[in-house]
Amino acid sequence: MKGQIKRARMFFDEAERGVAELNSASRWPVWASLLLYRQILDAIEANDYNNFTKRAYVGKAKKLLSLPLAYGLSFLGPQNLTKMVKR
């Protein structure tokens, strides 16, 4: 399972680099999906990779808090958003 999660994160990283190439109307939902699916992977890891008896999920509050970040990423991109946050 650890190898599959590592592989999934690699695909997410690759997809992240391609988001800027998408039509601007498509970026927000793609960023939201990337963030939420990464959080599901985090939940699987937090459950010690036990996806048979424990459910890996992202709660509603965390999902809702991810949407503004995805929106910002869709307009600014990860590098510019990081620069703004560090100020």
Residue pointed to by tokens 């808090």 = 65
Show Cβ contacts of residue 5 under 8 Å, excluding neighbours closer than 6 positions. 41, 44, 45, 49
The tens-digit pLDDT sequence of the chain (87 residues) is 889 999 999 999 999 888 988 988 899 999 999 999 999 999 999 999 988 899 998 999 999 999 999 998 888 876 665 555 444
Spell out the domain ranges in the chain: 2-86
Report in angstroms the alpha-carbon separations of 35 from 30, 38, 87.
9, 5, 23
Question: What amino acid is encoded at 54 in this protein?
Answer: K
pTM for the predicted model, two decimal places: 0.80
